[in-house]
């Protein structure tokens, strides 16, 4: 029998959590007004997460338990020694967290629209590079994706998003 790898175990835990969350969604109070039940959106999101977790489980079961003789995976083997090796190994997630923290700090000034565009543009530049025509492509993706999400939430769903000090007058 083949041993489960870490990804398969994580996928099973995610599926169990999705089941618990879906079961907990039945405890959401149903008001006497309105057409759409308050539990609808949480169940849709949990369903998507469960589907993605099933895909993750299938993919991880197909990969098998790929470990070295000493129990370390190949990804852990190429990490450098010490703290700087750890930082080098995890630099992309650390950049994501750092830039998201900066985005949250600038949210009262820039607002969701301008701050989101700047966050996506800078994050794509840091992770994907700044050479050639990449900044133009990053700008197009940032404006289109954040503009679409902002429009969907503002006009489609009626959510009041932070405008920031710059666009507050508009």
Model confidence over 4-19: pLDDT tens digits? 889 999 999 999 999 9
Q: What is the pLDDT of residue 69?
A: 41
Instruction: Let me know if residue 164 belongs to a domain.
Output: no
Do 12 and 66 belong together in one domain?
Answer: yes
What is the per-residue pLDDT for 70? 47
Residue 27 structural domain: 6-74
Domain-ending residue, one of 74, 94, 123: 74
Separation CA 138–CA 130 (nearest Å): 9
User: pLDDT tens-digit profile of 51-86?
Assistant: 999 999 999 988 765 544 445 555 556 777 888 888
Which among 90, 79, 63, 76 has a CA at the least distance from the CA of 9? 63
State whether 70 and 90 are in the same domain. Answer: no
Is there a single domain that holds both residue 100 and residue 152?
A: yes
Q: Do 143 and 89 have their domain in common?
A: yes
Q: DSSP for 117-130? A: HHHHHHHHHHHH-S
Produce one character per residue of 75-98: b if its CB has 16 or more CB atoms within 10 Å, e if not.
Answer: eeeeeeeeeeeeeeeeeeeeeeee
What 8-state DSSP symbol labels residue 154? I
Q: CA 48, 49, 52, 54 torsion: positive or negative? A: negative
Mean pLDDT over 45-51 rounds to 96
Arithmetic mean of pLDDT, 113-141: 95
What is the pLDDT, as a whole number, of residue 67? 47
CB hemisphere CA count around 11 (13 angstroms): 17
Domain total of the chain: 2
For 112, 153, 160, 163, 166, the CA distances from 105, given in Å and listed in that order, are 11, 21, 19, 14, 15
Q: Are 134 and 125 in contact (CB under 8 A)?
A: yes
Q: Estimate the crossing angle of helix 40-63 against helix 6-24, to 10 degrees.
A: 160
Say what the pLDDT of residue 80 is: 78
Q: Is the pLDDT of residue 1 over 80?
A: no
Give which of 106, 126, 76 is closest to 166, Cα–Cα: 106
Cα–Cα distance, 8 to 161 (Å, whole number): 38
Tell me whether residue 13 is in a domain: yes
Co-location of 123 and 65 in the same domain: no
Q: What is the pLDDT of residue 126?
A: 95
């Amino acid at each position: 029998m083949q041993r489960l790898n870490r990804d398969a175990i994580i996928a099973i835990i995610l599926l169990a959590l999705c089941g618990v969350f879906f079961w907990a969604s039945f405890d959401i109070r149903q008001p006497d007004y309105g057409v759409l039940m308050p539990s609808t959106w949480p169940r849709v999101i949990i369903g998507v997460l469960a589907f993605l977790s099933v895909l993750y489980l299938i993919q991880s079961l197909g990969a098998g338990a790929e470990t070295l003789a000493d129990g370390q995976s190949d990804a852990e083997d190429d990490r450098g020694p010490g703290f700087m090796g750890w930082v080098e190994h995890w630099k992309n997630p650390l950049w994501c967290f750092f830039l998201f923290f900066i985005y949250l700090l600038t949210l009262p000034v820039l607002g969701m629209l301008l701050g989101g565009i700047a966050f996506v543009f800078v994050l794509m530049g840091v992770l994907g590079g700044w050479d050639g025509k990449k900044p133009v492509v990053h700008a197009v993706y940032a404006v289109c994706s954040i503009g679409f999400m902002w429009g969907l939430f503002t006009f489609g769903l009626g959510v009041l998003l932070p405008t920031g000090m710059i666009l507050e007058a508009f």
